[in-house]
């Protein structure tokens, strides 16, 4: 089969193969300069996320077919070929997704279950690349960082939920269009869209309202 990496055509002598295996084969036998990222090779580290035919996927756990077009993640600076500059740390910093005011409580298995799904995030940035808001607002905190913020809001050891809620108002939960693209591409079956909706519910408990709704004019037409 043949695949295209950033418009360049490569032949891959396998019938059924993951993209990552194909990339290593190309690098070994056809193009030593080809640059991509990988680490665990088993869907755990998130390093190998790319776009296949415009859809985000992990190279190590996605099989390719002839004619597939491979590109780097969107909204990241491309360092070379498929390797991008990772932005996860900055995004997490913006969402302040960590414990702020620790209180000593007994953490039950049920409490752990509450945050289990969000804790599974492997920071692959697939959701970030799929989010259309980043196209128009590069400062949008983005799906995985908001999901992580929700994870710490659910954490029973957190004594200061409000400060997290305060920090995700600007370029945060109200800027999301709830399109669901982030949830559709997540390899860990995390649902950032739903987490953002729940964060909106939490924010309303602290008196926050959707600023878009607040800006609507309800004046009646003059006849
Ligand atoms: S649901 Fe919100 S965060 Fe997720 S991709 Fe759509 S706009 Fe972005
Ligand atoms: S939420 Fe899912 S898609 Fe987004 S960074 Fe985490 S694992 Fe990747
Ligand atoms: S190499 Fe780690 S997730 Fe693919």
Backbone angles phi, psi at 7, to 5 degrees: 75, -15
Same domain, 29 and 98: no
Same domain, 10 and 44: yes
Distance CA 217, CA 221 (A): 11
- The β-bridge relationship of strands 2-5 and 69-71 is parallel
Cα(140) to centroid of ligand 3, in Å? 26
Atom of ligand 1 nearest to the CA of 146: 3
Same domain, 6 and 112: no
Distance CA 204, CA 114 (A): 21
Same domain, 204 and 97: yes
Regarding the beta carbon of 39 and ligand 3, being less than 6 Å apart is answered yes
Distance CA 183, CA 195 (A): 10
Same domain, 102 and 134: yes
Nearest bound ligand to CA 147?
2
Q: What is the pLDDT of residue 87?
A: 83
Number of domains in the chain: 2
Same domain, 28 and 100: no
Q: What is the CATH number of the domain that holds 48?
A: 3.10.20.30
Q: Is residue 219 part of a domain?
A: no
Q: What is the pLDDT of residue 214?
A: 66
Regarding the beta carbon of 172 and ligand 1, being less than 6 Å apart is answered no
Q: What is the pLDDT of residue 95?
A: 82
Q: Is residue 217 part of a domain?
A: no
Cα(186) to centroid of ligand 2, in Å? 5
Q: Is residue 223 part of a domain?
A: no
Same domain, 67 and 160: no
Nearest bound ligand to CA 179?
1
Cα(124) to centroid of ligand 3, in Å? 9
Residue ending a domain, choose from 67, 84, 101: 84
User: What is the chain's pLDDT, residue by residue, as a tens digit (223 residues)?
Assistant: 999 998 899 999 998 999 999 999 999 999 999 999 999 999 999 999 999 999 999 999 999 999 999 999 999 999 999 999 988 888 888 888 888 888 888 888 888 888 889 999 999 999 999 999 999 999 999 999 999 999 999 988 888 889 999 999 999 999 999 999 999 999 999 999 999 999 999 999 999 988 887 666 655 555 4
Same domain, 98 and 131: yes
Q: Is residue 220 part of a domain?
A: no
For 11, the token pair is 């032949």
Q: What is the pLDDT of residue 219?
A: 58
Q: Is residue 31 part of a domain?
A: yes
Same domain, 159 and 103: yes
Q: What is the pLDDT of residue 207?
A: 92
Q: Is residue 79 part of a domain?
A: yes
Regarding the beta carbon of 133 and ligand 1, being less than 6 Å apart is answered yes
Q: What is the pLDDT of residue 223?
A: 45
Regarding the beta carbon of 82 and ligand 3, being less than 6 Å apart is answered no
CA 119, distance to chain mean position in Å, is 13
For 45, the token pair is 């580290």
Same domain, 59 and 154: no
Distance CA 132, CA 199 (A): 20
Atom of ligand 2 nearest to the CA of 56: 3
Regarding the beta carbon of 75 and ligand 1, being less than 6 Å apart is answered no
Same domain, 69 and 105: no
Backbone angles phi, psi at 18, to 5 degrees: -75, 160
Residue ending a domain, choose from 39, 61, 84: 84
Domain that holds residue 143: 88-212
Q: What is the CATH number of the domain that holds 106?
A: 1.10.1060.10
Residue ending a domain, choose from 51, 84, 117: 84
Same domain, 205 and 129: yes
Q: Is residue 218 part of a domain?
A: no
């Amino acid at each position: 089969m043949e695949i295209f990496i950033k418009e360049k055509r490569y032949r891959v002598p396998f019938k059924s193969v993951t993209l990552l295996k194909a990339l290593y084969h190309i690098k070994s036998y056809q193009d030593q300069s080809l640059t991509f990222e990988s680490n665990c090779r088993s869907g755990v580290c998130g390093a190998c996320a790319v776009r296949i035919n415009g859809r985000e996927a992990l190279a190590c756990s996605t099989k390719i077919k002839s004619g597939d077009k491979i590109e780097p993640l969107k909204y990241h600076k491309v360092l070379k070929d498929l390797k991008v500059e990772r932005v996860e740390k900055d995004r997490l910093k913006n969402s302040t997704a960590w414990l702020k005011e620790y209180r000593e409580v007994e953490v039950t298995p049920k409490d752990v279950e509450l945050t289990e799904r969000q804790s599974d995030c492997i920071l692959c940035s697939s959701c970030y690349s799929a989010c259309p808001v980043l196209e128009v607002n590069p400062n949008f905190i983005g799906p995985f960082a908001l999901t992580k913020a929700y994870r710490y809001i659910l954490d029973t050891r957190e004594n200061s939920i409000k400060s997290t809620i305060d920090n995700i108002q600007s370029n945060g939960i109200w800027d999301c269009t709830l399109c669901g693209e982030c949830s559709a591409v997540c390899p860990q079956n995390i649902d950032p869209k739903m987490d953002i909706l729940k964060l909106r519910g939490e924010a309303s408990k602290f008196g926050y309202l959707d600023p878009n709704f607040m800006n609507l004019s309800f004046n009646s037409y003059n006849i």
